[in-house]
Amino acid sequence: MDAWWKPGIENINGRTIDCVNNCPQTWSLPETIAADIIIICTYLTLVLKILPALMKNRPPYKLSKLLICYNAFQVFYSSYLVFIYTRYIIKHGIFPTRCPQGDPLKPVIKDIFPYFLAKHVDLLDTVFFVLRKKENQVTFLHVYHHSVMVTWAWLYYAYKPSDHFVVVGLINSFVHVLMYAYYGLSSQGPRFAKFIWWKKHLTKIQLIQFILVVFNMHYQQKLTPCPIPFFFHYFGMLSICSFFFLFLKFYLKSYVKQSKNIQETKTNCKDIEHNIAKNDVKIK
């Protein structure tokens, strides 16, 4: 793997760093993209081709105990990510400007790795949906979101590790605590339905998340003395914006339009009842 910095490059304070001995090794952009493509192609082939073919003539698996363990793990793991990123923000601020290089970057990379790992563990969501024959859950939004987040994780951890996305990791991990708590309860069947009345509000929280992330990324890139490459920055910005509009479309279709249809149905029922009562009076 190529080193991120070259020997003798000047840092933001005009000092030079011997990157052969002091700088952590990271991957080149082609290496990073190649590894990411392998992961995503494997994921897509598995959940869109191999597993659906295997499950075609099989009954759905319940996976109740496995899902309890998986979702509980995700809740606690995401809580751990919230803790480590909150700790970093308290120490270095919402918009870090320290630009760690050499040895100071090593603990930052150590804190990035759990988030990098989490984005790959999240891919199991789709696997479980397919095994349970929940095909309606394997939507374009679902698959696209997971694929993009894995790509982001590879660029962030393997290619350009920094403390640029600490707040992003914090916000996203907090939302995952709520999301996997919901998944855990909903996977246990109708008897737990009364505990997930906040499903509609979870989508609202996700939309708010995207707005906060876009603002943070914009000002982090603007205020930091060591901005990330423009292609990476705009890849992140465009990804989050696409998530926002796709989730907004889902919200409007699933809740606003559905609520409107229910209201129209109730109105029609009342009109029918009124007409029946009116005709009944005439007959008498």
Q: What pLDDT was estimated at residue 190?
A: 75
Instruction: Please state whether 102 falls in left (phi above 0), alpha (psi between -120 and 50) or beta.
Output: left
- CA 280 to each of CA 267, 268, 274: distance values in angstroms, whole numbers, following the listed order: 20, 18, 10
pLDDT digits (tens, 9 = 90+) for 184-200: 888 777 777 777 777 87
* 119: in domain: yes
DSSP state of 13: T
* 9: in domain: no
* 152: in domain: yes
Taking the C-alpha atoms of residue 172 and residue 179, their distance in angstroms, rounded to an integer, is 10
* 124: in domain: yes
Q: What pLDDT was estimated at residue 223?
A: 95
Which residues in the chain land under pLDDT 70?
1-25, 257-284
* 6: in domain: no
By annotation, the residues acting in catalysis are 145
- Per the structure, the count of domains in the chain is 1
Q: What pLDDT was estimated at residue 25?
A: 67
Q: Which domain holds residue 197?
A: 29-245
* 275: in domain: no
Q: Is the pTM of this model over 0.75?
A: yes
* 142: in domain: yes
pLDDT digits (tens, 9 = 90+) for 199-235: 878 999 999 999 999 999 999 999 999 999 999 999 9
Q: What pLDDT was estimated at residue 19?
A: 47
Burial class (CB in 10 A: 0-12, 13-18, 19+), 143: middle
* 11: in domain: no
Contact 24, 159 (CB under 8 A): no
Contact 168, 217 (CB under 8 A): yes
Contact 176, 74 (CB under 8 A): yes
Q: What pLDDT was estimated at residue 254?
A: 87
